[in-house]
A and B are shown apart, each in its own frame.
Chain A
């Protein structure tokens, strides 16, 4: 008598092994081995009982009205941002994979293991660009329009060493990023002068909890729409509220991101970077700033920095980074 392999027996009785040598082997065991015969009888009876139990579950309740409303609002916002599904970002990625891409016919041992691109931090697939503008809740564009994104947009001013643009807004605009670079113990590139951080980012305070395999890392979850669009047809009430500013400890960076941006720049030397957005949020549960940037060679990155970003000795306080595109 051989020990009963219940998984195999289940596969056989469930028809998954039909026509295979393994199926024949199990059929022989059931026919000739009392332990297997008994197990087969028990399993069959057990399945009948499970079927009866499953019937008690009944049909799912219908889609709740508030969920329907929320979906409609999310779709309206999405349609406004990307008619026909074509967002401003480059051509989209493959659909999120479920890990179901096993060889056909391979019986699943119930491992539930994620696909290779989701095996852990830093391994979320460097070549997996994501669609732009993923949003977790409806209506955030409307919230942004009146709040943080635009306000910061105006206040920051370009991060240029010589201040050629001239529109230095408040304390947020650094006058001398090189000084901050050297304060942070920067390692200059071969030419001796670290390239400046160019352009100014949209700043949002979503408090979203990003994960290493989060879709939202591919492109900012919240994007302030162009000024021209904001006035017409803003989505209705938001299911979530977007903060005006982040709570401590990220408020320090919100008020003065210059040193942090300089440290981020250092981490990409010798490429000059353009920071497009900073979302003051969380990463794996901890307060963090998600930074989206492009490098001079056309590369794209998302980089996660902690609250100590830009502090002397802390560098960028980097928690995670991922290449985009």
Chain B
């Protein structure tokens, strides 16, 4: 047999029909991308591995209910996103940053966590830490669209929401990141020398900023 082989939907059908290899083949096709989503969303590799396994087993069992109303990869991403959201909500460990207009986050606190130790020059680490401060839906929207390069339409299909909702989550998430990373000062956040001093007033974080100075 030299054909291209079964497509995703074909593998899923085969799995539901009882083929013991099909689901594994399907999942292996996509698991690197799914892993990336889980890792960027949860931050911690152990958590990401747990979430990915939960999602995989969920998908394995739920395959019979897949209606074909979305692409199989969309469906798989949806399950992974839900597994990640489950974990985040179960933890609910991090106080969230106040919205830029001064409204409080849902836990009623206005704590403004320092983004990173002052001496840490690793922008990527700082940015990932800031990402972890976002509310879950905003975080995942930014992971999907800005980090993983999915279109707004694809993200909307994964979340099962309107595209406008995805745009809003991305826009507000980026605004929160801007505050956390010191690019935006709305006048409402608490004075935070770590977040603001390292980044300069409204300056762009780059290798030329004072944050990259000696440790």
Measured CA separation A4–B188 after assembly (Å): 11
CB-based contact A107/B174 at 8 Å: no
CB-based contact A111/B204 at 8 Å: no
Q: Decide yes or no: A7 and B100 within 8 Å by CB, A46-B183, A85-B62, A108-B169 being known contacts.
A: yes
Taking the closest CB of chain B, its distance from the CB of A104, in whole angstroms, is 4
Q: Decide yes or no: A13 and B171 within 8 Å by CB, A42-B202, A110-B137 being known contacts.
A: yes
Q: Which residues of A (68-94) have their CB < 8 Å from a CB of B?
A: 68, 70-72, 74-75, 78-79, 82-87, 92
Q: What B residues does A84 contact at CB under 8 A?
A: 15-19, 63-64
Q: Decide yes or no: A50 and B15 within 8 Å by CB, A57-B128, A85-B64, A112-B89 being known contacts.
A: no
Taking the closest CB of chain B, its distance from the CB of A65, in whole angstroms, is 12
CB-based contact A96/B137 at 8 Å: no
Q: Which residues of B (134-186) have their CB < 8 Å from a CB of A?
A: 134-138, 142, 146-147, 159-162, 164-165, 167-178, 181, 183-184, 186
For chain B, what secondary structure do more than half of its interface residues adopt (helix, strand, loop), or is it mixed?
helix
Q: What B residues does A71 contact at CB under 8 A?
A: 27, 31, 49, 52-53, 56
- Interface size for B (C-beta < 8 A) is 88
Taking the closest CB of chain B, its distance from the CB of A236, in whole angstroms, is 16
CB-based contact B175/A6 at 8 Å: yes
Q: Decide yes or no: A46 and B36 within 8 Å by CB, A5-B101, A83-B18 being known contacts.
A: no
CB-based contact A105/B165 at 8 Å: yes
Smallest CB-CB separation from A39: which chain B residue? B186
Q: Which residues of B (1-31) have their CB < 8 Å from a CB of A?
A: 15-20, 23-24, 27, 31
Q: What B residues does A62 contact at CB under 8 A?
A: 32, 35
Tell me if A231 is interfacial: C-beta within 8 Å of chain B: no
Q: What A residues does B206 contact at CB under 8 A?
A: 52
Tell me if A136 is interfacial: C-beta within 8 Å of chain B: yes
Smallest CB-CB separation from A79: which chain B residue? B20
Q: Decide yes or no: A134 and B18 within 8 Å by CB, A49-B183, A60-B40, A64-B45 being known contacts.
A: no
CB-based contact A63/B161 at 8 Å: no
Render A48-62 as a binary contact track against B, CB cut-off 8 A, 1 for contact.
Answer: 111111101111111
Which of A43, A113, A114 meets B178, CB within 8 Å?
Answer: A43
Q: Which residues of A (1-27) have their CB < 8 Å from a CB of B?
A: 3-7, 10-11, 13-18
Q: What A residues does B63 contact at CB under 8 A?
A: 84-85
Q: Which residues of B (41-72) have their CB < 8 Å from a CB of A?
A: 45, 49-50, 52-54, 56-58, 60-65
5 contacts between A and B (CB under 8 A): A42-B202, A53-B126, A98-B137, A104-B165, A107-B169
| Given A92-B62, A95-B82, A112-B89, 16 further pairs, Cβ under 8 A | A11-B171, A14-B170, A14-B171, A42-B184, A51-B174, A67-B49, A79-B60, A85-B62, A85-B63, A87-B61, A92-B64, A99-B85, A107-B168, A110-B173, A112-B137, A113-B106
* 7 closest residue pairs by CB, A with B: A14-B171, A107-B168, A6-B100, A60-B36, A110-B135, A46-B178, A16-B168
